[in-house]
Structures are given as structure tokens and as C-alpha cells.
Structure 1
Amino acid sequence: MTYTQQYLQKCQGLMEAVALQEDKILEVARLFADSILSGRMVHLFGSGHSRIMVEEMWPRYGSFPGFNPIVELSLTFHNLVVGANGQRQAMFLENVPGFAKQILRNFDLSNEDSALIISSSGCNVVPIELAELFQEQGIKTVGIISGKHSEVSISKRKDGRKLRDFCDIVLDSGAPIGDAMIKVENLDTPVAPGSTVGSCMIINCIKAELANLLTQAGEPPKVLTAAAMVGAERATELFQSAYDEHAHRVSRLYKKVGISSYVSEKN
């Protein structure tokens, strides 16, 4: 087989791994539907390349409001690689204890919220601490990890606990140990990772099930849709209404955050 054929075959295995988790995926969709229908939000977080899954959920074509994408540029900005804002700093910061608490200090959380945290290894400090903090506040939390990779990876937390230890539901991307799936002749380390493929399949399965649940509940989501499908006028209407709904939802996360003031008390 060519390397392309090998990779696609491996991806077929990822698809089969995701398919085996259908019951869990529907359980997650129900959890998220409860948060969204209550007017609250599903908090999304991923450091490093796990940020990709946050953006896959919202906002993009075929997605809809109800999600709070928490994207810390200091943990996810890879473009420069070296120098100021380089990759070394990002990898260091995602293992700084206490960083997660500073992130969540920005939001007025509710136990009606839910959360989705993505981390292939499930071993970096910031995503683990976020899940722990969500759990402490009664927020149901879902993790997406690569099960085999996480199992053999060593947690950066002093107590050895991993992301899965603080999640109510854990989903598995199906990716192998080390993530990379293809061994090239005369190259001693594999290439072509699979966790993004498997995790994105999980994200979009959740999204589809969730859209169905919201529609059945009488609150069909405002889906970002291409003009090529619905015409420019309808597409613009959907985009604007979806963004406005997001603003209405996210405003509740700031309304009474932290130390009260005459503004928060008045409103």
C-alpha cells in the first residue's frame, strides 16, 4: 500500500473507534442540550493543537450558538514557532499550576453550564485543573482524549491524576500511542497524527445529535450556513442572528462575575 492508502486505512480504524461510542456521544449531546436550553453555555477548552477541536465546534459553517470557546492564545499560538510567543513558551505555560484558575476567574459560572475539554494525552496541568475546577462547581464535564496514548503518558501533575479523573464522561479519539500513525521506510519515528481526525469526528457527531435534540425541544439552532445553500439574504440573517444569540448567552457569563459593584447589583 502507498502511504496515503495506509493513512486512510488507519482513519477507517478511527471511524470504527468513534462508532463504538455512539451511546456515550448521545449522552453528551443530552447533557449539552440541557445547558443550552436553559440559556446557559457549554464551555470549550483545548490547549496546544487541541484548540482545533474548539474551533470545529463553534463558530464555523454547520455550527450553532450555545458554546463558550475558551482559547488562550498563550497556549495555542503556534505560528511563530520560535522567538517571542514561541512554542517553547506555550508548552511551558500549559503546565503552570494555577493558570486554569485565572482563566475561569473571568466567568460567572453556573451548575447549569457544562464543559468539554480536549487533551490527547490528558496529562497537561491546565486542562486537568480546568476540569477539576468545573467539577468543584458542579459543572458536568466531558473529556476527549486518546485513550491508548493517555494510558501510557505520565501526568504533569504532582499527584499523577489525569484529565479523565475529573470528567463525568470520557470519549476516545481512537488515536494510537504517540498519535502519529504512519511508519515511513528508513525513518525511525512515525508521522501523520490521527487524534485530530478522530476528535473532529466526535465533535461533529455530538453536534449533529445536539442539533436534533434542540430541534425536537422546539428550539431549532441558528446554524451558520453558506450562501451557496440558502442564498445570500438567508445566510446573512442566520449569521447575524447566531452571533447575536451568542452575545446574549455570553453576556450572562460576565453580568455578575467576581466582586460585585453597583452595576452588577443594579442589573
Structure 2
Amino acid sequence: MLRERFYDEMKKVLDKIEKTQGETIDKCAKVIGDSLVNNGICHILDTGHMLMYEGVGRTGGMMAIRPIRINFEVNNPARKRLIPGKENVYYDSIEGFPEFILGKANVAKGDVLIIGSVSGYNNMPVQLALKAREMGVKTIGITSVAYSSKIKAKHKSGKRLFEACDYVLDNCGIFGDAMVEVEELGKKIGPSSGIAASYLMWALQTTVVEYLISIGKEPSVYISNHLNNASAINGSAWENYEKFGY
């Protein structure tokens, strides 16, 4: 069954993450922890489908992982028509947009920026990483090295995300992301990147928590809103985050 094949392939990816990414996770956790205790902020900006929702504001997650959310909309309620040669424009390919984002966001020297992009070849994630590093911000890329390695970079430097960041967490996915071949469709289904990115993010957060505790700091974390007195407990934890930065 396709379901069992997906299970098998996904387990292989998670097993590879466990066997290959631990050392980098440890390094990233120390970088984040040291930033937080020195008045820094850990930001996350994901151009994909997972980390901005799964890794932020969740039960058991750190309050100190803060998203950079982009809301960009063009409204032009005109009649539909065919425009020959007109191409769709996406914000991750707009020259200069990464500088605008970092200029508007609360990002400063000594911070950490986690950038998520599975393919990692578009202009925005790469330029974000390069510009952030110029600002003195440590960068952590969450990407698929195998996938990205086979795609030509769109950034003028010729770099992809895994080549532009200080640290790289590899989601260990394959080229094209989907893992299960369906002969009847002539296509593969079942991408690994979402689950893998979540796995990496929570492994990273648990390691940051462990590191902070080891240096005598108590990180602020969310508890479930369904638990007794959750509002007061989370409110108190948020006050500690605002006061101490972790």
C-alpha cells in the first residue's frame, strides 16, 4: 500500500536526521542560547509551508522563537483578460525585498535568524542570509541540501541557502521532495519536508532549552491553554520572556 511505503520512506528520512544533524543542532542551540542571554532575539522566517506555524506559539515551545511575518497584497479588481507574456511575480524572487524585510523587522546585530526554504534557490532566502550576516546576525538555514544542490541558484551570487548561511540544518529530503512513486499517475506523492522541518525545529528547541538550563537560565515556554490556570501561567512566563529575553 502507498501508505506503508510513505511510512517507510519517512522513517528513513527521520533516521538520517537523527544520525547526521545532531552536531549541528548542538552548535545552533548554543548560538541561539548565547544570543538570547545577551539581549538578542531569535527570529524565524520560512518561505515554505511549515515552520511559521508549527515552530511558533505552540504548547511546549519557546516563547523566544519569534516569527517575521510578511503580509503583502495587491488588489486590482478589474475584469479578467489574457495578457501575452505576462508572468506571475512572487515576493521571494523580488530584488531588494529581503533588505526591505530586514529594515522593517526588529532585527539587530547579535540576533539569530532561522531561514526555512526547502529548495533554497530563490533570491529571497539567499539574500536574507547574506544581508543578515552583513548586519552581524547569525543565520541558520533549514533546507534540503540534496534537493538544492541539483537546482541552479537564482541569486546573482550563484549561492543557494545552504551555501549562504552560517549553519545549515539539512532536512535530509530527496530531489523533488515527494518520496512515493505512483505508477498510475507517473508522479511521486508524499513529501517529507514538512514533517522533517518540524522534527528539526523541535529537536533544536529542546536542545536550546537544555543549554539554557545548563547555564542557569530558565527559558519561558508555553503550556497548553487547556490545562488548569494556563492563562496565568503563560502570562507570567511571557512577562519573564519580555524581561529577560529567554
TM-score band (shorter)? Answer: 0.7 to 0.9
Aligned to 1:190: 188
Give the corresponding residue for 2:45.
45
Q: CA deviation at 1:93?
A: 1.6
**Deviation larger for 212-221 or 138-147:** 212-221
Q: Could you say which residue in structure 2 is the equivalent of 1:11?
A: 10
For the 8 Å contact 1:40–1:249, the answer to whether it is kept is no
2:235 paired with 1:240:
yes
Q: Deviations over 1:196-222 (max 9, x none)?
A: 111111101001111111122222222
* Residue identity in the other structure for 2:94: V
Measure how far apart 1:247 and its partner are.
Answer: 5.2
The one-letter code matched in structure 2 to 1:236 is S
Amino acid at match of 2:40: R
Q: Is the 8 A contact 1:29 1:209 kept in 2?
A: yes
Q: In the superposition, relative to structure 1, how do residues 164 and 188 fare at CA in structure 2: closer, same or farther (>3 Å)?
A: same
Find the counterpart in structure 2 of residue 258 from structure 1: none
Aligned twin of 2:83? none
How many Å apart are 1:246 and its aligned residue? 5.3
CA distance in 2, matches of 1:246, 1:157: 37
How far does the alpha carbon of each residue in 1:111-137 deviate from its partner, in whole angstroms, 9 at most, with x for none? 221111111111111111110111101
Written as runs of structure 1 = structure 2, the 5 A alignment for 1:75-94 is 92-94=90-92
Aligned to 1:24: 24
Displacement of 1:244 in angstroms is 3.7
SS at match of 1:155: coil
Instruction: Tell me, in whole angstroms, the C-alpha distance in 2 between the residues paired with 1:108 and 1:14.
Output: 35
Where structure 1 has 5 or more consecutive residues not aligned to the other structure, the ranges are 76-82, 251-267
Identify, as 1 or 2, the structure richer in helix: 1
Q: Matched residues in 2 for 1:32 and 1:104: separation?
A: 18
Residues 148 and 104 (structure 1 numbering): CA distance in 2 closer, same or farther, change over 3 Å? same
Identical counterparts, % of pairs: 25
Amino acid at match of 2:12: G
Q: Would you say the 8 A contact 1:121–1:145 is kept in 2?
A: yes
TM-score by length of 2: 0.86
Q: Matched residue pairs, number?
A: 232
Instruction: Give the corresponding residue for 1:146.
Output: 144
1:55 aligns with: 53
- What are the residue-to-residue correspondences of 1:143-222 with 2, within 5 Å? 143-222=141-220
- Asked if the contact 1:64/1:222 (under 8 Å) is kept, the reply is yes
Q: Distance in 1 between matches of 2:2 and 2:130?
A: 41
Output the amino acid matched with 1:167. Answer: C
In 1: Cα distance, 2:181 partner to 2:15 partner: 21
**Aligned partners of 2:145, 2:182: CA distance in 1, in Å?**
24
> CA RMSD of the aligned region, Å?
2.2
- Residue equivalent to 1:111: 109
State the Cα distance separating 1:40 from its structure 2 match: 1.7
| 8 A contact 1:54–1:69 mirrored in 2 | yes
In the alignment, the residues of structure 1 paired with residue 225 and residue 138 of structure 2 have an alpha-carbon distance, to the nearest angstrom, of: 36
Cα 1:57/1:191, change in 2 over 3 Å: same
